[in-house]
Amino acid sequence: MCKVSVIMPVYNGEDYLCQSIDCILNQSLKDLELICVDDGSVDSSLDILNGYAEKDSRVKVFHQENRGGGAARNVAITHATGKYLYCMDADDMLELDALERLYGLCEEKSLDFTIFKAINYEDDTGRYYETPDYSMEKLAEFSKGNVFSFEDLGDLIFNITVTPWSKFYNLQFVKDSGAQFAEGMIFHDNPFFWEVLFNSKRLYFLDEFLYTRRRHSTSSTKAGDKRFANIITIININVSIFMKYNQFERFKDILYNKKVFWIHMRYENIQEQYKEFFFGKMKEDFSKMLGHERYGEFISALNWKNRAIFENCISSNNVSEFDLKMSKANNPNIFKKGVRKVLRTFKK
């Protein structure tokens, strides 16, 4: 057993792969293994990985047909032998003393996992900048250097980024939780995060930037292609996890609003050629709420903007009609008249 298993899914990562691998192999903590799963790359990624494996016995390389980053991470975890687990992306950067510090922290405090901050790096401009998602200032203010459980957090659970590279996990804890990354979809880290969170009892927030998140146009979460419709499935999986751990009733108002908000946000960022496809999936999902036993509490929980999104989607036949209605919905006074009419229709 080594101290830390670092897992890295790789897909066509030749541009940044060496920098990311070097961030791991040059860590001040040397007792580690780097498990790389090539996810059907068609560039030189696999050759680069094999080159590293030939030079450093700590590097283990596996290859699979393209199944997505979630599947690659799941495969990598099955091969992990370390006491702790860290998930590295193949285009990002980690501070060179990060693993040593995180290992010492988890050992000292007997943690299930540690959360830490990340800074963004704009690849096109060379600019570094913070975002609330990765800085998690509310969590820092709450934790104040203390160990806590998810039960202590309340609504703050929604202020923790779901990204696995901002966490350092006890590997046995992860395996015992049964957490898996969703396979065949982007946004696959969501279910994994909620599973491990709801199983956790000892958490810690390190209020420091240890990770640099590279932003570039080829990122899957910025592609805006048909895969963006995955968000609908992912959100429904998230809801099922909340129900599994008896957390749905506690957070249902937030979950209802986040469901509508996140689906619409991805709709707004999808490429124009895929909008009609996404709209169809969105309307199909929203329509399942009509006549559902929870419809009343669902519609009552939505804020005015999310209600506008929901009602306008249901009552529209195509993208053009929906977008026109939403342009009017940005004015709440115009929206109120329309929504009363729509609600009367649904209640009949």
Closest CA to 64 of 52, 79, 51: 79
Beta bridge partners of 206: 116
Q: How many whole angstroms separate alpha carbon 269 and alpha carbon 203?
A: 34
Which pLDDT band, with edges at 50, 70 and 90, does 332 fall under? low
- In this prediction, residue 329 carries a pLDDT of 79
Bigger pLDDT: 123 or 173? Answer: 173
Please, which residues have CB within 8 angstroms of residue 81's CB and are 6 or more apart in sequence?
1, 2, 5, 33
Mean pLDDT across the stretch 103-128? 96
Q: Is residue 302 within 8 Å of 259, Cβ to Cβ?
A: no
Collapsing DSSP to helix, strand or coil, 63 comes out as strand
Residue 336 has pLDDT above 60, yes or no: no
Question: Which are the contacts of 132, defined by CB distance < 8 A and separation ≥ 6?
Answer: none
Band of pLDDT at residue 318, cut at 50, 70 and 90 = very high
**CATH placement of domain 4-222:** 3.90.550.10
pLDDT tens-place string over residues 257-303: 999 999 999 999 999 999 999 999 999 999 999 989 999 999 999 99
- The full set of domain ranges for the chain reads 4-222, 251-347
Threshold 0.85, pTM exceeds: yes
Percent of the chain with pLDDT over 90: 90
Nearest to 60 by CA among 7, 20, 107: 7
Q: What are the respective helix, strand and coil percentages of the chain, to the nearest 5? A: 55, 15, 30
Whether the pLDDT of residue 341 is over 90: the answer is no
SS3 114: strand
* Dist CA 96 CA 254 (whole Å): 38
Helices 248-268, 275-287: inter-axial angle, 10-degree rounding:
160
Residue 33 has pLDDT above 80, yes or no: yes
- Mean pLDDT across the chain: 93
Q: Identify the bridge partners of residue 168 per DSSP, sorted by sequence position.
A: 114
Return the closest-CA partner of residue 35 out of 109, 102, 85: 85
Do 123 and 219 contact (CB within 8 A), yes or no?
no
Contacts of 321 (CB under 8 A, 6+ apart): none
Please tell me the distance from the alpha carbon of residue 314 to that of residue 303, in angstroms, as a whole number: 17
Provide the pLDDT confidence category of residue 343 given band limits of 50, 70 and 90: very low
Q: What is the pLDDT of residue 217?
A: 64
**What are the tokens at 34?**
């780097």
Has residue 346 got a pLDDT over 60? no
Helices (H), 210-291: 230-244, 248-268, 275-287
Confidence band, pLDDT 50/70/90 cuts, at residue 222: low
pLDDT of residue 348: 39
State residue 72's pLDDT score. Answer: 97
pLDDT band with cut points at 50, 70 and 90 for residue 224: confident
CA distance 143 to 111: 14
